[in-house]
Amino acid sequence: MAAYPDLTSYNYAPQFAAGAPLNVGWLGASADWAVTPPSSELLDALWAVTQVVVAPARGFHFCELCGTEEVGVAQRLGRRLLLGHAEIRVLGGAGEVYAAPDMLFHYVACHGYRRPLRLSVL
Ligand SMILES: [Zn+2]
């Protein structure tokens, strides 16, 4: 998967760039980010926005941080999701749009990725 710095302009799939989104959570194996244990409220909110995906891919991305080649499966609130095959969009409080891989839930839940502070809606 492509890696982009947080809060840079999204251009991974231009056909899904409506609203001029900003990148969040496009982590590569060498990504350097702040680590914070996520709260249950954050995981619930992120889980909710991960239910609706955009920009579906024809294959799966595997977590480079885990170093696995297995499809990511996340489970929360009695539901399971396959991760690594699409993107999500999150609207900010000032009308900004954030674009993230659907792996964002995994990055936050399993690797403690701390989203940029401007992403206060989660
Ligand atoms: Zn991982």
Domain span at 21: 14-111
Q: Is residue 118 part of a domain?
A: no
Question: Which residues neighbour ligand 1 (ion) by CB within 5 Å?
Answer: 63, 65-66
Residue 120 located in a structural domain:
no
Residue 103 located in a structural domain: yes
Assigned domain for 116 exists: no
Q: How many domains does the chain have?
A: 1
At 70-107, the pLDDT tens digits run: 888 999 999 999 999 999 999 888 889 999 999 999 99
Residue type, 98: Y
- The verdict on residue 122 lying in a domain is no
46 lies in some domain? yes
DSSP 58-122: SS-PPPTTTT--S-EEEEETTEEEEESS-EEEEE-TTS-EEEEETTHHHHHHHH-BPPPTT-TT-
| pLDDT, mean over the chain | 89
> What separation in Å is there between the alpha carbon of 104 and the centre of ligand 1?
10
- Using the mean position of ligand 1's atoms as its centre, give its distance from the Cα of residue 110 in Å: 6
Stronger pLDDT, 92 or 31, i.e. the higher one: 92
In a domain, 43, yes or no: yes
**Domain membership flag for residue 8:** no
Residue 69 alpha carbon to ligand 1 centre in Å = 10
